[in-house]
Amino acid sequence: MLKPLIAGNWKMNTAIHQGVELVMRLRELIKGVDAVEVVVAPPFTSIHHLSHLVADSPIKLCGQNLHWEKNGAYTGETSAEMLVSAGCRYVIVGHSERRQYFKESDEVVNKKVVAALKGGLRPIICVGETLSEREQGKTLTKVRSQVKKALAGLAGSVVKDITVAYEPIWAIGTGKNATAQEAEEVHNAMRNYLFEMFGPDDVKDLRIIYGGSVKADNIDDLMAQPNVDGALVGGASLKAEDFARIVKFQRLT
């Protein structure tokens, strides 16, 4: 069984002092947890500051985005190397908010995935359908296409460093989560598709996590699904108690 990954995406929330408070509290609450990989993605401005606080804790840091170039005239952008030097081990790529508000295409997502891996970061690649795509029965076609394009050209040997986050867009920040069965159906289909793309050996260590209104009261059911390897948590990751309860999900199986 894969070690579950629970990641908190703080989005554009928390000034440095608030991030420090959140991490200090979380550290206390999850002390001794080692059966779960715990990741938080603060705003760029806080990452280096927090790197000292997470050093002797189970928490790993994650960027919320990156640019595919190493450096250069790209005002406002941040490279994989810069994130690593600030203390990150992971980076979120292709979040639906970046796809929607910053017009990130599947091709851009692919360039970022390649750059992250080359730069020493483990990408958490977000895919998911809109409500109208789900209603038209296009969920699996959409996520397969996003996965195919995001992972295009990658050698099978690097796939173990990738996490795919299934995040139905209609469930993000809306309080409407996919049911555990709906998530499992998509995760299972995605895993089979990844097997076809790379073969079982390369894919056996790739985690598929669920995101979209994950909370203390739905995490246990989600984590009981055989193909749900963790969660990407937005809103509930901003409260240390809520996030810690999610990290300490109860095994129902």
- Three-state SS annotation for the chain: CCCCEEEEECCCCCCHHHHHHHHHHHHHHCCCCCCCEEEEECCHHHHHHHHHHHCCCCEEEEECCCECCCCCCCCCCCEHHHHHHHCEEEEEECCHHHHHHCCCCHHHHHHHHHHHHHHCCEEEEEECCCHHHHHCCCHHHHHHHHHHHHCCCCCHHHHHHCEEEECCHHHCCCCCCCCHHHHHHHHHHHHHHHHHHHCHHHHCCCEEEEECCCCCCCHHHHHCCCCCCEEEECHHHHCHHHHHHHHCCCCCC
**Shortest gap between Cβ of 128 and ligand PEP (angstroms)?**
9
From the candidates 37, 67, 95, 104, give the one annotated as an active-site residue: 95
Q: How far is the CB of 234 from ligand PEP (least distance, A)?
A: 2
- Name the catalytic one among 97, 104, 133, 167: 167
Name which of 184 and 202 has its Cβ closer to ligand PEP. Answer: 184
In this chain, which residue has its C-beta nearest to ligand PEP?
Answer: 234
Comparison of 42 and 235: residue with beta carbon closer to ligand PEP? 235
Q: 63 vs 198, which CB is nearer to ligand PEP? A: 63
Comparison of 66 and 198: residue with beta carbon closer to ligand PEP? 66
Least distance (Å) between residue 9 CB and ligand PEP: 5
The residues binding ligand PEP (CB under 6 A) are 9, 167, 172-173, 211-214, 232-236
Report the nearest approach of ligand PEP to the CB of residue 41 (Å). Answer: 9
37 carries an active-site annotation: no
> Does 104 participate in catalysis according to the annotation?
no
User: What residues are annotated to the active site?
Assistant: 95, 167
